[in-house]
A and B are shown apart, each in its own frame.
Chain A
Amino acid sequence: MIPAAFDYYRPTDMAGVLALLQQHGDDARVMAGGHSLIPMMKLRMAEVPHLIDLQDVAGLDQISLSAEEITLGAMVTQHTIINHPDLVQAAPILREAALQIADPQVRYMGTIGGNVANGDPGNDMPGLMQCLDAKLTLVGPEGERQVAARDYYEAAYMTDRADDEVLVAITMPVPQGGFAYEKQKRKIGDYATAAAAVQIGKADGKVATASVAMTNLSDVPVWSEAANAALVGTECAPEAVKAAVAAMLGDIDPSEDNRGPVAFKRHVAGVVLTRAINRAWSRA
């Protein structure tokens, strides 16, 4: 409950953030909503001698929408994602997923950027960002670069982001077709036993495009190209859905914990993916 002592900073621009990261190296961490980092600091599992609060950094809470593209500033909260009418219209899957994350209080504070950057396989947004083919914008001492969400996750809490880089924005194409985020969890606020993000485009009664990503079934989110391939070109009948589930099961690697043994997680993964595909297809 009692975190170790630290120095606290609230810079107002990215230059100030980067200067602090450069100065303090591994001893500095940025904080967004604080709802993963502070709990870890309270358990002394994270020690952060220099804590850089991003809340005053101008521009990080912006949302921009065009006909083709959505850009979310890293500090956009889950609460905003749920309640922003234009965003909800453009990408309803974001709202559907955000409503399954945590609880009201946490959603007022927790941000999309923190969720995506955290690197905990339990987080829901990473899989969703892979499903939607989002690009993450990172800013560091050498300037700005973009990395695909599908390439960002390396292992639990290990990502492509360098220690002196900050995730500042997430850009994704406006999703097309039907969507679903299906999550099985023990109770409100729990990380998924298994969850599936699905986006399906339909043309001439057939699956034209499919994107399937799974949450908390490996030490990273899993975007399943094999499951996508099993769906495209079909009429999304039960055999095709079964084939997609079988393909997905080849890509995941869950581990046993309080949410259940591996066999159970694989079973639940199949159930949530079946439901997600069927719901996405019904909306396509």
Chain B
Amino acid sequence: MSDKTVSQSPNLSRRSLLKAGLATGVAAGAVGTARAGGDPLITEIQDWNRYLGEGVQARPYGMPSEYEAHVVRRDVEWLTASTESSINFTPLHELDGIITPNGICFERHHGGIAEINPADHRLMINGLVDTPLVFTMEDLKRFPRENRVYFLECAANSGMEWRGSQLNGCQYTHGMVHCVVYTGVPLKLLLEEAGIKTNAKWVMPEGADASAMTRSIPMEKALDDCLVAFKMNGEALRPEQGYPLRMVVPGWEGNMWVKWLRRIEVGDEPWHQREETSKYTDLLENGKARRFTWVMDPKSVITNPSPQAPISHGKGPLVISGVAWSGNGRITRVDVSLDGGRNWKTARIDGPSLPKAMHRFYLDIDWDGSDLLLQSRAMDEHGYYQPTKNELRVSRGENSIYHNNGIQTWHVKADGTVENVEVS
């Protein structure tokens, strides 16, 4: 099996990944010990070395190399009744750094993707304000704007894992998260433009899509760091991310980041909408439920190696890489265990360390080829650190659905394959 065949496979399986890993391993070995006559990729002139490639305008909006065609969002069909109210997953195991490319940021819709011409889009602010207002997109782009890097994590990320290991790959267990640079107007400025009344305590963003998503947000948060954003990673929002306008609610559960934002109501009480009563409330073992669990707590996952990214190169130097984030602020430390949490080493955080943003960590080890039980444990600037799944279950039971930030374990086997497991 050539690498190219694997790369273009539309539905990479664990088995084909394993084959790919082994094939690559063999190839790498061949390079490691030069064969007689030399490597033909070096000794023979290659096509790309002889013939001209495509010209500058062949790709007006560039796409990744065809050899990266497997780096895509994936869904799990059995999770939901309909693709229009469903979820897909960011391929975390294929990414590095802290920024998620726009085209593979996970999607979560409740009524499909609304396709809106920005010229037809309006934002209304009404309720407990001095002057209810209507803005066009052009109006919004005349306000002073900010650029901020934030992670956006679905409240249900890892939710399928409450009862134990279920999905085999960090794309599926942890991929309802992305992290981009948002450009937008502070919500505070828009509220000040309308003039909020003294009894105003809550705001409620509402989407223009067929689900008309609504959530109650306390005024303190609205005036603190919320944005009304129109760009991500420098370009307009993607339709599936709320084009032309979305809420940015830093550190808080993704559901509140209302897409296709068309209205913000100001009120004195929360509205108790469907997405903050029936959904996004966290049922505990005693039958009672938490409401308004907004913050996404400190969390991390090792993205490589992981079930979709087995070790293909054999023993020796191994880069353990992963991501960590906390809705409370900066990540100050990530510890990594090779033995299922008995002993820990502090990993190296590389790249920007920004509040409520993804952080990249690395631990470089010399793998002796023995089984590993890999774990990572994030700590944030407020001293909160990531609990084990069992600690969470002791406090909450197994029916909370949302807010599973428990420590993930990967079992690395001698052949380099990796499996999602639970440990004692």
Please determine whether chains A and B interact with each other in the same assembly: no
